[in-house]
Amino acid sequence: MHLIPQITFDFIGIVFLVFCGAVLIQLLYLFVFHFRLLIYKPKPKEQVSFPVTVIVCARNEEDNLFHNLPKILEQDYPEFEVIVVNDQSVDDSRHIIKAYQEKYSNLKLIELEKNKHRKFGKKVPLTIGIKGAQYEHLVMIDADCYPDSDQWLKHVVSNYTQEKEIVIGYGPYERVKGLLNKMIRFDTTSIAMTYMSFARTGRPYMAVGRNMSYTKTTFFSVDGFKKHYHIQSGDDDLFIQDAANRKNVAVETDPESFVYSIPQKTWRAWFKQKQRHFTTAPKYRLINKLFLGIFPLSMVFMLISFFILLFNYEWWLFATALLVLRFVFYWIINGLLFKKFKSGDLIAFYPIFELLHFFIMPFIYYSSERTETSKW
């Protein structure tokens, strides 16, 4: 048995070529996108002092507003306002915001009265908040999120230049015990690595609405959310698809700029959350679908062809060595990225989480009925 047997164009030979092609695509994907994000070092940022508007959309978020608003309002930034759009809440959200207004003069409240003719969704309150903003530069954060430091606002807006009009940030989940939490954070970090690396290579396609920024001019230049207003989700990824280009997007990866959220506590709740996120995927441009689809497709071909080669006396050793090499490269490079995104505890079992994530995501995607939900 030779380590590299002679290639023939019979069934096994073709399977081997498919396997090699799939591994090559996987490695190209890793080095073209993820490795470039790993070695990315932003240029020294200039000190900025222009005024900023932070917009928080909230519906029945009394507890989150009580705990998180001070962390937003006490940012170390010279001039900014915080607008909370209270969207038809029936809890004590209004009273909590009013109480904080007595302490923070830069906190503003916009009340949306109950309207049975309007579906719940984030786009209407967000649009109203943007129209009510006093300043040109806008920063978005959700009521159930909090910045990791008082330097969050400074890091985000320091990315603006004459060319940069959109800033994409990272929104991880809190770390708690359990497999579910590890899976949620693995998923969140993996997605962030993808959309940030795509943006770094001039192909921005999404962001997370709980930590992103853009200008009012940019928002109104594409008529806001008009093109996809009928879809409740999409205030982040579909908006980026409309407004972003190769040159006007900046990526913020400093740990002090991270915005944390509380993770789902049950598998069922997480599955529903992921299904809601998937509702916008069919609306992506064809070129983005192709770039995003080539990775899982090549993974399928790689694993199927490897399974076939594993039972062939001549090819199993070389195929195994090539597959191990692929996983080692991913383990090292993506592991370093996970550490960069403060998810270093997931590195030790990265290959296991990668395979588990690969098999879970299609199940969630295809089990989704693509129905709109009332939670955003």
pLDDT tens per residue, range 185-207: 999 999 999 999 999 999 999 99
Name the amino acid, one letter, at 217: T
* For residue 163, pLDDT beyond 50: yes
Between CA 190 and CA 358 the distance in angstroms is 11
Q: pLDDT over 70 for what percent of the chain? A: 94
CB burial of residue 44 (10 Å; 0-12, 13-18, 19+): exposed
Tell me which H or E stretch contains 62: helix 62-73
Is the model's pLDDT at 30 over the cut of 90?
yes
The average pLDDT across 44-64 equals 90
Instruction: Quote the pLDDT of residue 210.
Output: 94
At position 176, the amino acid (one-letter code) is: V
What number of residues does the chain have?
376
What pLDDT, on the 0 to 100 scale, is given for residue 219?
96
Mean pLDDT of 248-270: 95
Q: Which of 33-47, 95-109, 346-360 has the lowest mean pLDDT?
A: 33-47
Q: Please, which pLDDT band fits residue 4 given cuts at 50, 70 and 90?
A: low
Alpha carbon distances (Å) from 191 to 110, 178, 202, 327, 341: 33, 20, 17, 18, 12
**Ramachandran area for residue 370 (φ above 0: left; ψ -120 to 50: alpha; else beta):** left
166: which strand partners? 214, 249
Residue 9 has pLDDT above 50, yes or no: yes
Q: At 115, is the pLDDT very low, low, confident or very high (cuts 50, 70, 90)?
A: confident
Q: Report yes or no: 278 and 232 within 8 Å, Cβ to Cβ.
A: no
Chain centroid offset of residue 136 CA: 24
Alpha carbons within 13 angstroms on the beta-carbon side of residue 367 total 12
Q: Where are the alpha helices (DSSP H) in 2-61?
A: 11-29, 35-38
| Residue 374 predicted with pLDDT over 60 | no
306-335 average pLDDT score: 92
User: Is pLDDT at 372 greater than 70 in this prediction?
Assistant: no
d(CA 97, CA 104): 10
**Integer Cα distance of 99 and 102 in angstroms:** 6
Residue 26 CA from chain centroid, whole number: 21
pLDDT at position 246 over 50: yes
Q: Identify the H or E element spanning 234.
A: none
pLDDT at 327 over 70: yes
- Phi-psi region at 326: left, alpha or beta (left = phi > 0; alpha = psi -120 to 50): alpha
pLDDT at 375 over 50: no
Domains (range + CATH), the chain: 11-39+286-367 (no CATH), 52-282 (3.90.550.10)
Exposure string of 338-364, with b = 16+ CB inside 10 Å and e = fewer, is bebbbbeebbeebeebbeeeeebeeeb
Name the residue among 150, 144, 93 with its Cα closest to residue 263.
Answer: 144
- CB distance 16 to 309 below 8 Å: yes
Contacts 24+ apart (CB under 8 A), 217-220: 217/136, 217/165, 218/165, 218/166, 218/243, 218/248, 219/130, 219/138, 219/243
- The more confidently predicted of residues 54 and 7 is 54
Q: Rounded distance, CA 42 to CA 314, Å? A: 48
3-state SS, residue 259: strand
